[in-house]
Amino acid sequence: MSKAAPARPWPVVLLTALGAWLAAVPLVAMIVMLLGSALQGGIAPLVIGAGLLVGAVLLLRAAALPLFVEQLAVPLLLTGGACLAWGLVNQLQHQEALVSALMLVVSVIVAAAVTRSWLRLLLGAGAAGLGLLTLQPEGWLRLGSGFIEVHLLLAAWAAMLLAAPRVPAGIGALLEDFACGWLMSCLLLLAVQAGGRAALGGLNEHSAAAWLSAGLALAAAAWAAWSWPGLRRWPLLLAGAVLVALAWPMSHLGALLLAIAVTACSGRWRQATAAALAAAWVVGHFYFELDWPLAQKALWLAAGGAVLLGLAALLARAGVVAAAAGGGGYRWAAGLCALAVLAVANGLIWQKEALIRDGAPVYVALVPVDPRSLMQGDYMRLAFALPPGVQELPVDTGRPRIVLALDERRIARPLRVATPGQGAAAGELLMELAPKDGRWILVTDAWFFREGEAQRFGLARYGEFRVLPDGRALLVGLADEALHPLAPLIAP
């Protein structure tokens, strides 16, 4: 059995890795040029990929491998994996889920064969992505999809943590490293989904997701109370109840709270900090969710924050938290998370304010529909005029932009979908599309207003946007046929 790699200072590893990767670029290019014809089909890509993987693993298992050679073996490992995946795609056409599952097995085998923790972590992160492709082969980068699948991946992560102390030490170390990378991918996916307003629609449309999130938050509170007996006090139990209430409208928050509880209670403070940063991202983006009116969101967050702040002050004065946690590792993590929440929330607000300030005013024709929802108050469902063919664009290849022509009143007329890298000509502008429920929309498809103002906003004929030169846009109001803004009525 090969010995574990000696510990090295991370700056040395970073600089050596950079040099090795730069040196590997022409090497990989040469391999592709020499074997280009062989990679076109048949079993050649499978044989070449397997050979590169075996060679890279043998290099990485060497007991006294120079750092530069170690880092040089990583691109060979990735190239071998890419060749193997290409060969499987050619052999198993239209069976993307099976290809992903086989590559997931390969990732596990390679992770078991190598001995370096950082490489096992990276393989675990990649394996989680392959797991999502296995469960949802139509494309895991599609915002708004994969909610259940990511939660299943988190369940697999929890199973790895439970199994790690119950297996032989070598396998346990593998599971620990692999699970850490797996969790990082899951946190990223949850943050991306929440950041793209990728919940499952309005609360009345995804009550199952809301209840799942609240249930996971409740499980997180129970786990923390079971692991740290000092937390079994009424102020902390009340704090847990507040977090459960906050998790209900934020369908991605419950899983993150459970990840925080599991990692913090087991002393994995770096992983707990990463999960807390993802939770801060989710909370920050709740401000821009269209499923709730702004006043309700502000009241919900302000009330929850006030209760938690008051409880934190009460417990800090009594010295309860330090005794409950049984260590000081939580202090820097809690402080970092508090700063992250403030940075995310204020950064997003600053971003929108800058867009309103610097963006050019543009009016786009709309066709409003006014369904009622007792859970959301009064709102208008908006449908803006878009060029033909927009809805045929795939939703997993980045955000497309459309080209619009402006008249003298700054009313935009949709022309076409912009080609990548295309700029706006004179009298034209670009606007970025956003994904929503498997289709493309122009920024948003809803406008909320106070009860009793439905007749007033029924006069809306245009959406007033602020648009930056790169196509980023924000809906700031509605206007009537004469472009007069439909400001909300001021209550006496």
- DSSP string of 120-133? HHHHHHHHHHHHHH
- Please indicate whether residue 336 or residue 483 has the higher confidence score (pLDDT): 483
> What type of residue is 107?
S
Residues paired with 466 in a beta bridge: 361, 474
- The alpha-helical segments, DSSP class H, found in 136-168 are 147-163
pLDDT range class, residue 334, cuts 50, 70, 90:
low
The tokens of 381 are what? 């469902």
Find out whether 440 and 386 touch, Cβ atoms under 8 Å.
yes
The most confident of the ranges 146-150, 157-161, 297-301 is 157-161
- Reference 253, options 292, 215, 295; nearest CA is 215
Task: Look at residue 335 and tell me whether its pLDDT is greater than 60.
Answer: no
Quick: pLDDT tens for 219-231: 988 888 888 777 6
- Reference 469, options 435, 413, 422, 436; nearest CA is 422
* Dihedral sign, Cα of residue 229, residue 232, residue 236, residue 237: positive
What's the rounded mean pLDDT across residues 467-473? Answer: 85
Task: Look at residue 69 and tell me whether its pLDDT is greater than 80.
Answer: no
Task: Look at residue 208 and tell me whether its pLDDT is greater than 60.
Answer: yes
Q: Are strands 360-365 and 411-417 parallel, antiparallel or unpaired?
A: parallel
Quick: pLDDT tens for 90-142: 888 778 888 888 999 999 999 999 888 888 888 899 899 888 888 876 544 44
- Reported in sequence order, the residue ranges of 82-140 that DSSP labels E, i.e. its strands, are none
pLDDT at res. 343: 65
pLDDT at res. 155: 93
What's the rounded mean pLDDT across residues 40-46? Answer: 73
Residues paired with 428 in a beta bridge: 405
Task: Look at residue 242 and tell me whether its pLDDT is greater than 90.
Answer: no
Quick: pLDDT tens for 283-327: 877 765 545 555 566 666 667 666 666 666 655 555 554 444 444
Find out whether 304 and 246 touch, Cβ atoms under 8 Å.
yes
pLDDT at res. 35: 62
- Cα angle for residues 59, 60, 63 (degrees, 5° grid): 90
pLDDT at res. 3: 47
End-to-end Cα separation, the chain, in angstroms: 80
Q: At a CB cut-off of 8 Å and minimum separation 6, what does 280 contact?
A: 337, 340, 341, 344
Find out whether 323 and 229 touch, Cβ atoms under 8 Å.
no
- Please indicate whether residue 70 or residue 101 has the higher confidence score (pLDDT): 101
* Cα 359 from chain centroid (whole Å): 27
Quick: pLDDT tens for 425-445: 777 888 888 877 777 888 877
- Please indicate whether residue 333 or residue 235 has the higher confidence score (pLDDT): 235
pLDDT at res. 246: 80
> What type of residue is 225?
A
pLDDT range class, residue 184, cuts 50, 70, 90:
very high
Instruction: Report d(CA 166, CA 475) in Å as an integer.
Output: 54
Residue with tokens 């799942």: 212
Instruction: Report d(CA 246, CA 243) in Å as an integer.
Output: 5
pLDDT at res. 156: 93
In this prediction the pTM is 0.62
pLDDT at res. 297: 63
What's the rounded mean pLDDT across residues 47-75? Answer: 78
Q: Which of 10-14, 234-238, 332-336 has the lowest mean pLDDT?
A: 332-336
pLDDT at res. 200: 37
* Cα 251 from chain centroid (whole Å): 13
The tokens of 173 are what? 């170390």
* Mean pLDDT of the residues in the chain: 75
- Please indicate whether residue 399 or residue 473 has the higher confidence score (pLDDT): 473
- The alpha-helical segments, DSSP class H, found in 319-462 are 320-325, 329-358, 454-457
- Please indicate whether residue 392 or residue 342 has the higher confidence score (pLDDT): 392
Quick: pLDDT tens for 371-427: 444 334 456 677 788 888 787 777 656 678 888 888 888 888 888 888 777 777 777
